[in-house]
Structure 1
Amino acid sequence: MEKMKKIYLALAVISGVLSANAQNFKKVIGFNHIESVTHDDEFLYISDIGVAMKPTDKDGDGKILKLDRDGKIVDANYIKEKLNAPKGLTIANGVLFVADIDKIIAFEVKTGSKLYEVDFAGETTFLNDIIVWNDTTLYVTATDKSKIYKVDLSENKFEPIATDVEIKGANGLFADKENNRIWVNGFGANSEANGVMGYISLADNKFSAITPIEGYYDGLYVYDGVVYFSNWMAFEKKGIIASMSLIDKKVKTVELSEPISGPADFTVFKNRIIVPGMLDGSLNFITIQKESLYIH
């Protein structure tokens, strides 16, 4: 595994050198610790876990901010409900779902008012990414438990998916309804970069990896026939975004003008990858380009 990690580190350095003059990278700073970003047709919404980098502390200083599409704050107190360390966000049918330590909380997008919640107390203290499967079903990762939970909103209950392999530090999710599968990655366990990247078939709950390289994987998104996924690389400014074409299955690094400090749960909007830098409180906008470096 050490060899694979060295390969990835070398690629991150090479990628930074090759893209030093890139003009399609924009960085917005001034936030605390952004973990997730999502969007509707007009605005961006980000989760900020608070002043301290304490993702499991119930300290009451978490926020959801509403931004315009270029990262300018529209409403710094968009959600009035007390939040602790909000992480994963997703929007569907006018509802914003927020993962906050041991709860999933639903808010009306239009008003920011709370609608209901699903309580995971006693089950986990690190709910992370969320995806909507249909009107009554969500999936959410519990990073501390290395599990993915299926949530039944109609009955306000949940159960873990029994996968054939453990997804260590289960983190990012993406719903691939057309192929009846969930894309997932892991941040790793025991502070090691031993997370995996791939998908789970909901027909048999079997996991298929798309790369043998392990890492501190976090966000992921499928857009225009390409799977994008983030890897922190280290707990400093070394993070990268990788991609894999669903046609040729080749993995590449996305061209960046600088590494990202803790590239967390990102989204793609208007042909731009919008990535939170969780360690330095930045929001990074990357225009999607075809050219990048291949990882063989």
Structure 2
Amino acid sequence: MRKLVSIAILLLLSTTASAGILKTPESAQMYRKKIFVSNIGNLPPSIKDGDGFIAVMEPDGKTGKILTRGLNAPKGITFVKGKLFVTDIDRVVEINPETGKVEKTIPVKGAQFLNDITSNGKALFASDTQTNTIYRIPLSNFKPEIFVKSPSLEGPNGLVFKGKVLLCVTWNTGKVLAIKDGRIETLCRVNGNLDGVVVTENGTILFSDFKNGIVYRLKNHRAIPVVKGLITPADIGYKNGILTIPQFYANSIKIIKVKK
């Protein structure tokens, strides 16, 4: 069966892991069979205090280590051409995922609260929740430009591409938006603060509600709960049937094996 039709089908295996090193985890993304986690460190998540870090954990979540120290408040993570890119307040940082070395820092002029980041293979796209802006950063020159800036973004947070459509979930209004050719369309809305969004192999859209502790799937413009009882789920990740859910205030990662 290809569709995720209920929580009973979705949850094949679930485990909660902390590896003893996480501190305010924001984004958890799978890469080369490991889980890379951005950790904000001390709150609030907008202060340049240098205590943020990237951790890398084994897929069972039982062991992990700190990969990169000295960030401020790292949030969204994406991987492009063998490099890890993470947002950090008003910059995007490129990191070697094997060594943890910072290889490039990309200042984003005008940014105040860069949050999630994704890529279409040609450019990076980063959301700024405070300024209702999504930036585009071409991989050819790494010079940031405004992709879309509009009050209709309503606190843009999680980003992911589904084909040529950029999906964005909003923190302020609990909306799932579709952005294409400069047009912004609302796909659904919930009474919550949306954080992360992913697309599975069969096109299923999953997104997290930080406020209510739920991961939903989108079906026919409706939000269907598939995982409940979470503690502040932040920027979720998905790859090869594994859903990774950082629990912001619990300093842990929920790892769920999904039926494809």
Smaller-chain TM-score bracket: 0.7 to 0.9
- Whether the 8 Å contact between 1:164 and 1:205 is mirrored in structure 2 is no
Q: Is the 8 A contact 1:94 1:110 kept in 2?
A: no
Q: Distance in 1 between matches of 2:142 and 2:255?
A: 36
Give the direction of change, closer, same or farther, for the CA distance of 1:152–1:171 in structure 2 (3 Å limit).
same
Give SS of 2:130's match: coil
4+ residue runs over 6 A deviation: none
Cα distance between partner residues in 2 of 1:129 and 1:41: 20
Q: Tell me, in whole angstroms, the C-alpha distance in 1 between the residues paired with 2:250 and 2:92.
A: 26
Q: What's the counterpart of residue 60 of structure 1?
A: 50
Corresponding letter in the other structure for 1:263: P
Residue in 1 that maps onto 2:218: 244
Question: Aligned-pair RMSD on alpha carbons?
Answer: 2.3
Q: What secondary structure sits across from 1:211 in the alignment?
A: strand
* Superposed displacement of residue 210, structure 1: 1.6
Which runs of structure 2 are paired with 1:62-81 in the superposition (5 Å)? 62-76=52-66, 78-80=67-69
Distance in 2 separating the partners of 1:271 and 1:155: 34
Greater CA radius of gyration, 1 or 2?
A: 1
Structure 2 Cα separation of the partners of residues 222 and 276 of structure 1: 17
Residue in structure 2 matching 1:197, options 163, 170, 176: 176
Write the distance in 2 (CA, Å) between the matches of 1:161 and 1:93.
22
1:287 maps to which residue?
A: 257
Distance in 2 (alpha carbons) for counterparts of 1:165 and 1:60:
31
Residue aligning to 2:128: 142
Deviation of 1:173 (Å): 0.3
Q: Could you say what secondary structure the match of 1:279 adopts?
A: helix
Which residue of 1 is the match for residue 187 of structure 2?
Answer: 210
Q: Which residue of 1 aligns with 2:225?
A: 253
Using the size of structure 1 for normalisation, the TM-score is 0.77
Determine if the alignment matches structure 1 residue 161 to structure 2 residue 147. yes
Q: Give the drift of 1:98.
A: 1.1
Give the 3 Å change call, closer, same or farther, for CA 116–230 of structure 1 in structure 2. Answer: same
**TM value normalised by structure 2:** 0.87
Structure 2 unaligned segments of length 5 or more: list them: 1-5
Matched pairs, number: 250
Alignment partners' CA distance in 2, 1:262 and 1:57: 20
Q: How big is the shift at 1:217?
A: 0.5
Is 1:133 aligned to 2:120, yes or no? Answer: yes
1:26 aligns with 2:15: yes
1:53 partner SS: coil
2:233 paired residue number: 263
Deviation per CA, 1:122-169: give whole Å up to 9, x if none: x1221111111224x110000111211111243332222236762111
SS of alignment partner, residue 144 of structure 2 = strand
1:41 aligns with 2:32: yes
Between the aligned partners of 2:12 and 2:147, the Cα distance in structure 1 is 43
> If each structure's strand is expressed as a fraction of its own residues, which one has the higher value?
2
Partner amino acid, structure 2, of 1:92: V
Contact 2:174 2:189 in 1 (8 A): no
Q: Is the 8 A contact 1:169 1:195 kept in 2?
A: no
